[in-house]
Amino acid sequence: MNGKPASPACPICGHEVADPKTSPFCGARCRDIDLGRWLNGSYRMPGPPAPPPTAPPETEQSDGSAADVPSS
């Protein structure tokens, strides 16, 4: 032991994290890789199942005429 605490390892590539501005990643590249994984759905937070989507309201009546849809 040299008395110096060990630097944490980057969770993406395992290299030492030298710059506290990019922590917990070793650099911008690994930070961007992690962000991409969140954005494309690779990482997911556990939770209750989502309810099924609901159908949009009908915009046409059975006789083919347009339904009265109030405007907002």
Question: Is residue 65 assigned to a domain?
Answer: no
Only one residue has tokens 């944490």, namely 8
What is the tally of structural domains in the chain?
1
Going by pLDDT thresholds of 50, 70 and 90, the confidence category of residue 53 is confident
Task: Please work out, in degrees rounded to the nearest 5, the angle formed at the alpha carbon of residue 38 by the alpha carbons of 35 and 43.
Answer: 140
pLDDT given at position 50: 83
pTM (two decimals): 0.55
Q: What digits encode the pLDDT tens for the residues 2-48?
A: 666 677 899 999 999 988 888 999 999 999 999 999 999 898 888 89
Please give the residue range of the domain that contains residue 31.
7-43
55 versus 68: the higher-pLDDT residue is 55
Using alpha carbons, list the distances in angstroms from residue 69 to 8, 51, 55, 57, 66: 59, 26, 16, 9, 8
Question: Is residue 63 assigned to a domain?
Answer: no
CB atoms within 10 A of CB 46: 4
Question: Is residue 49 assigned to a domain?
Answer: no
pLDDT given at position 33: 97
Q: How far apart are CA 15 and CA 32, in angstroms?
A: 15
CATH assignment of the domain containing 30: 3.30.50.10
Average pLDDT value for residue range 53-71: 66
* Beta bridge partner(s), residue 16: 9
Question: Is residue 35 assigned to a domain?
Answer: yes
